[in-house]
Amino acid sequence: MQQTFPQGVTWFTPYDSTTFVKVSINEVVKTLFEAMLLVFLVIYLFLQNLRATLIPSLVVPVALLGTFAGLYIAGFSINILTLFAMVLAIGLVVDDAIVVVENVERHISEEGLAPREATLVAMGQITGAIVAITLVLAAVFIPAGLLSGSVGVIYRQFSLTIAIAMMLSAFMALSFTPALCASIIKPNQHENRLLGWFNRLFARTQRAYMTRMRHSVRHTPRWMLLYLVLILGAAWLFTRLPSSFLPEEDQGYALAIVQLPPGATLDRTIAVMGQIKNIVIKNPAVTGMMEIAGFSFIGSGENTGMGFIRLKPWGERTKPDEQIGPFMAWANHALSGIKGARIFVVNLPTIRGLSKFGGFDMELEDRAGLGHDKLMQAQGMLLAKAAKNPALLGVRPNGLAPSPTAQDERGSRTGGFDGVVGQQRLQGATADAGTV
């Protein structure tokens, strides 16, 4: 396409949302493989039997493959939420397999049973526990997927992905894993000398733990009192932790919204946009900015504009002040010196559709037909009360104020054209209450 452009004309992509999505998915996939590798190493460290370690390693891919099939049937896609649920589900999937393998291996090594007999004895002991824990976890995650509203939309795919993986894990633990145990596990005749240090350390830890447990049983009231103190401490910390609906997400872009006084010309808006670019481009975290004059997400008109501020890739922004939060604070402070315009730099919404920017939106509707003045009065009252709430930050109205108009009275008297001069007129009986 570049070859068809006139000389001196180039093209670039000012805003590409797929970059953040690709990086996020790649990180989750990387974490997925890291989790599988760590699981393999931990299992081998404790069981010290390569055959026994191989069984959970075979169960995980089969369970994840079945989970993908469940996602396809449910109409879900492979996205950040479902992949993150897969990462968490690995622990649940492996846990069931480990319980089976460890119990079978214990009966083989301690009681000298053959693999087949050891598997039958082990499954008779733990089948009920596997079914019970699966039902308990299902009772936690499945209701979360049935929630209504925005919370349900956010967590439905996440919770149901875990629920599907969990049920497949239980099915595998009751069918596939015992079959592998009976056919693969062999008695371990020789102690692993390379891991002798770990066995001795674990034995000392186990003895210390049993000593502490015997002491706890003899002094139950004292430990129950300590348990109560821990519960109260957790409740106190819960009340002190900050809360939010969704965390801020560094997507590699920031958005500058510009609003000049009503009636300002497009030339003034372009000049302000140029000042903004000259300031933000000096920040080492910024690689470029695309300006749009005459339109923004709060409305269209000659007195408004916006700019997409493109930040450096995440790997190149290693300093704390180059992250999205500190950068927005710096930009809002640096741009506050530009006179004659209201400028605020915001983050893009974590989940599109919940708001125009980060946070959330509210809207007022004049259902009683009280008129524009009453609607604006109610908007001002709502914004004033919201600004006093310490839990809210950055309360501001969305939308543009009505531009000044001039009535051609001479034309009206003579029956000529009734001209209304202005940039924009308010249409309809709705108004944005604002963004928080």
- Determine the pLDDT at residue 421: 43
Exposed / middle / buried, residue 141 (Cβ in 10 Å: 0-12, 13-18, 19+): buried
Listed residue (318, 308, 317, 378) closest to 346, CA to CA: 308
CA dihedral defined by 66, 68, 69, 73, rounded to 10 degrees? 140
Are 254 and 347 in contact, with CB atoms under 8 Å apart? yes
The CATH architecture one would assign to domain 18-190 is Up-down Bundle (1.20)
- Determine the pLDDT at residue 152: 79
Are 311 and 252 in contact, with CB atoms under 8 Å apart? yes
Give CA–CA dist 342/322, Å, rounded.
Answer: 24
- Determine the pLDDT at residue 209: 92
Are 324 and 256 in contact, with CB atoms under 8 Å apart? no
- Among 3.30.390.10, 3.30.70.1430, 3.40.50.1860, 3.40.50.1220, name the CATH number for the domain at 253-435: 3.30.70.1430
- Determine the pLDDT at residue 393: 67
Listed residue (314, 312, 315, 295) closest to 303, CA to CA: 295
Reading the block at residue 295, the tokens are 């339109």
Are 394 and 329 in contact, with CB atoms under 8 Å apart? no
Where are the domains positioned within the chain?
A: 18-190, 253-435
3-state secondary structure the chain: CHHHCCCCCCCCCCCCCHHHHHHHHHHHHHHHHHHHHHHHHHHHHHHCCHHHHHHHHHHHHHHHHHHHHHHHHHCCCCCHHHHHHHHHHHHHHHHHHHHHHHHHHHHHHHHCCCHHHHHHHHHHHHHHHHHHHHHHHHHHHHHHCCCCHHHHHHHHHHHHHHHHHHHHHHHHHHCHHHHHHHHHCCCCCCCCHHHHHHHHHHHHHHHHHHHHHHHHHHCHHHHHHHHHHHHHHHHHHHHHCCCCCCCCCCCCEEEEEEECCCCCCHHHHHHHHHHHHHHHCCCCCEEEEEEEEEEECCEEEEEEEEEEEEECCHHHCCCHHHCHHHHHHHHHHHHCCCCCCEEEEEECCCCCCCCCCCCCEEEEECCCCCCHHHHHHHHHHHHHHHHHCCCCCCCECCCCCCCCCEECHHHHHCCCCCCEECCCCCCCCEEEEEEC
Exposed / middle / buried, residue 332 (Cβ in 10 Å: 0-12, 13-18, 19+): middle
Q: pLDDT 10s digit of each residue in the chain, 436 long? A: 777 888 888 877 777 777 877 887 788 788 878 877 887 888 888 878 888 888 888 888 888 888 889 888 988 887 778 888 888 887 777 888 888 988 998 888 888 888 899 999 999 999 999 999 889 988 888 888 888 777 777 788 888 888 898 888 899 889 989 999 998 888 766 666 777 888 888 889 999 999 988 888 888 888 899 999 999 999 999 988 877 766 778 888 899 999 898 888 899 999 999 999 999 999 999 998 988 898 888 778 888 999 999 999 888 888 888 898 899 999 999 998 898 888 989 888 776 656 556 566 677 888 888 887 888 888 888 888 888 887 776 677 766 666 666 666 565 554 444 444 443 443 333 344 444 4
Give CA–CA dist 398/423, Å, rounded.
Answer: 18
